[in-house]
Amino acid sequence: MAKRKTESDARRRIVETAERLFYAEGVRAVGIDRIIAEADVAKMTLYNHFSSKDDLILAVLQYREEKVNEMFAQSIERHEKKGMDRLEAFFAALKDWFRSTGFRGCSFINASVELADPGHPASQFSAAHKEGFHNMLKEIITQSRGPKAASAAPAIALLVEGAIVTAAMERRPDAADVARDAALALLPMKRNRRT
């Protein structure tokens, strides 16, 4: 049992270290030897858990997805408690993310661009993540503005993706506000909440 715990601790350290480095510097710029050194594991330990750097990149994106989903859920809930509807809370959460220390855009966009191979497992995972993220946004739009508003979801998803890239490239957290205002202009008025 202790050996299994040590192995899972080592795997966790490898993934967390790689996630931090990949997000800050890019998946191609960071080498395996640096990850091994900063995670404080042996090379054999890394290769016992991941057969290649590509496998590690995929594991990091899977881990990142969990973190991103949790971060958005908590931030949206916090803003809803302040009286915002879910769509307003989503854009407030987006702005919170843009303001966060070390914000460097979307890991999934970044990895896909760096890998430049749509067939790479990490690129495919990134595409699936984006589909899930857009579906979540569509659900939020539907909850906030009704089923007819869902037809605007693809355009709003493009606004969100553009805001992410703009916030990363221009260091402008207010890109979330611009996207929000444009999104709200596409939608019918807010539904009345049931009492």
Domains of the chain: 1-51 (1.10.10), 58-195 (1.10.357.10)
**For position 30, what pLDDT does the model report?**
97
CA 23 to chain centre: 11
At position 13, the amino acid (one-letter code) is R
Q: How confident is the model at residue 188 (pLDDT cuts 50, 70, 90)?
A: confident
Locate 92 and state its tokens: 């407030």
**For position 190, what pLDDT does the model report?**
67
Indicate if the pLDDT at residue 193 is higher than 60. Answer: no
**Per residue in 148-178, pLDDT tens?**
999 999 999 999 999 999 999 999 999 999 9
What is the phi-psi region of residue 111: left when phi exceeds 0, alpha when psi lies from -120 to 50, beta otherwise? alpha
**For position 194, what pLDDT does the model report?**
46
Residue 5 CB-half CA count within 13 A? 2
**Per residue in 17-65, pLDDT tens?**
999 999 999 999 999 999 999 999 999 999 999 999 999 999 999 999 9
C-beta separation of 155 from 108 below 8 A: no
**Per residue in 82-138, pLDDT tens?**
999 999 999 999 999 999 999 999 999 999 999 999 999 999 999 999 999 999 999
Nearest to 86 by CA among 97, 94, 77, 95: 77
